[in-house]
Amino acid sequence: MKGNVIVGQSGGPTAVINASLAGVINAAQKNGAGKIYGMHYGIEGFLNEDIIDISDYITCASDLSLLKRTPSAFLGSCRYKLPPIEGNEALYDRMFAIMEKYNIEYFLYIGGNDSMDTIKMLSDYAALKDKPQKFMGVPKTIDNDLPLTDHTPGYGSAAKYIATAMKEIIRDNESFGASKPIVCIVEIMGRHAGWLTAAAALSKGPDCSGPDLIYLPEVPFDLDVFMEKVKQLAEKKRSVVIAVSEGVRLADGRFVCELGNASDYVDAFGHRQLSGCASFLANKVTEATGLKSRAIEFSTLQRCATHLASRVDIDEATNVGYVACEAAMQGHTGMMIIIQVVSREPYLVSYNKYDIHEIANVERKVPRDWITNDGTYVSEKYLEYARPLIIGTILPYYAGGLPRHLTLDNKSR
């Protein structure tokens, strides 16, 4: 029997973050781990010794299957950045004391940039103090902004949700417009990188015209040019649908969503109410053209719609969790698992380990040549990249007409 494993989930949830957890659990069991612990609410819970024994909740393969179909972080998540080692040794000593208390040898953390930073700090500290514990990072983020890995688990399912919802919204918007065009502006997550917004382009095909314009934060936004383009479209089309990242900015660096609050309007407490980017632009369109407009925000739906998860994404998320845990149990530490695409058609990937120091705190954006010259669409290069990631479905387990989930306080167990 090997030592114990602990696994935590961190940052914004994804539709498949629990598939990675299922992969970790499966690998721990297959490789003869002792106990498998979970951090309740990530590293923040760990620091409070809020630790659960996963075998109290997951006992069989069917639990693991249900776990893969459950959105959001089963163990609970947190947004907590470890401070630098220097000057905070007491904190790090405490964490290692907790690991020793629970006989934890393998420490897995599923998350994005900040979480990989956690793995880096802990493995650095272990090296510094000659500690035996192994630390491995499992990539996860809908934002797809981690470097070195071809893409991140979580992105494919978010992209599938965005493309599906976009198709449905375009159908809906096209149903009206006999007399006057209707403009619909859809706001998509991604403050700094446009990967999620780019996925709107996947909706385009023989049965869907796709959005008319796509604006990513990688290209400066010009409000006048935007208004001119909308007017031109409205002269030709009954339905105009535009995808816009929440993070689009003017050339001077201001977020477009801040412009809506450029007036002196503040609420009773002196706060400026931030309206969304899409609702600001929709209002502008109506003001300038008199056309009916609508703003839609996908909000957290794009990261929690596990009922529409991509099969490729679920499988890859499971595999990165599995490979990370297995690597830790083979003695590797201070690394993150990356996905490398061997071939895009047929789609084949391999899973590899990469030094965590090369990954933590680096943010990857959509390459400029994957965006059209005028900055209002993505190119075929993006589509070739993204198409394989949204393939396949994993059917929910339905009960009473609704997808069933596995939860820590599931009363039905």
Using the rule CB under 8 A, is 412 a contact of its own copies? Answer: yes
Q: How far is the CB of 172 from its own copies (least distance, A)?
A: 4
**Which CB sits closer to its own copies, 98 or 148?**
98
Residue 162 backbone dihedrals phi, psi, to 5 degrees: -60, -45
**Which CB sits closer to its own copies, 255 or 326?**
255
| Residues recognised as catalytic | 143
Using the rule CB under 8 A, is 231 a contact of its own copies? Answer: no
Residues 77, 9 contacting (CB under 8 angstroms): yes
Residue 183 backbone dihedrals phi, psi, to 5 degrees: -105, 125
Residues that contact its own copies, how many (by CB under 8 A): 85
Q: How far is the CB of 32 from its own copies (least distance, A)?
A: 30
**DSSP label at 178?**
S
Using the rule CB under 8 A, is 174 a contact of its own copies? Answer: yes
Among 29, 35, 50, 351, binds its own copies (CB under 8 A): 50
> Cα 100–104–105 angle (5° rounding)?
110
Q: Take residue 98 and report the two structure tokens written for it.
A: 């907790």
Measured CA to CA, the distance from residue 288 to residue 232 in angstroms comes to: 13
Using the rule CB under 8 A, is 4 a contact of its own copies? Answer: no
Contacts of its own copies in 135-164 (CB under 8 A): 160, 163-164
Residue 111 bridge partners (DSSP): 139
Q: How far is the CB of 52 from its own copies (least distance, A)?
A: 13
Q: Give the dihedral sign, CA 205/208/213/217.
A: negative
Beta-strand ranges (E) seen in 298-408 are: 335-344, 347-355, 398-399, 402-403
Measured CA to CA, the distance from residue 350 to residue 344 in angstroms comes to: 12
Determine whether 208 is exposed, middle or buried from the number of CB atoms within 10 Å of its CB (0-12, 13-18, 19+). middle
Contacts of its own copies in 299-338 (CB under 8 A): 299-301, 303-308, 310
Using the rule CB under 8 A, is 172 a contact of its own copies? Answer: yes
Among 148, 297, 332, 344, binds its own copies (CB under 8 A): 297
Q: What is the CA radius of gyration of the chain?
A: 23
- CB neighbour burial string for 190-201, b if at least 16 within 10 angstroms, e if fewer: beebbbbbbbbb
Q: How far is the CB of 160 from its own copies (least distance, A)?
A: 6
**Which CB sits closer to its own copies, 3 or 403?**
403
**Which CB sits closer to its own copies, 70 or 133?**
70
Cis peptide upstream of residue 211 (ω within 30 degrees of 0): no
Among 20, 72, 149, 333, binds its own copies (CB under 8 A): 72
Using the rule CB under 8 A, is 1 a contact of its own copies? Answer: no
**Which CB sits closer to its own copies, 165 or 256?**
165
Contact segment (CB under 8 A) with its own copies among 24-32, 67-75, 113-121, 213-221 equals 67-75
Using the rule CB under 8 A, is 273 a contact of its own copies? Answer: yes
Q: How many Cα atoms sit within 13 Å of 349 on the Cβ side?
A: 22
> How many helices, marked H, and strands, marked E, lie in the chain?
13, 13
Among 13, 153, 181, 217, binds its own copies (CB under 8 A): 13
**DSSP label at 148?**
S
- CB neighbour burial string for 397-409, b if at least 16 within 10 angstroms, e if fewer: eeeeeebebbeee
Contact segment (CB under 8 A) with its own copies among 81-89, 212-220, 222-230, 265-273 equals 265-273
Using the rule CB under 8 A, is 79 a contact of its own copies? Answer: yes
Using the rule CB under 8 A, is 45 a contact of its own copies? Answer: yes
Using the rule CB under 8 A, is 8 a contact of its own copies? Answer: no
Among 206, 253, 331, 346, binds its own copies (CB under 8 A): 206
**Which CB sits closer to its own copies, 57 or 134?**
57
Among 49, 53, 168, 222, binds its own copies (CB under 8 A): 168
Using the rule CB under 8 A, is 3 a contact of its own copies? Answer: no
Residues 324, 126 contacting (CB under 8 angstroms): no
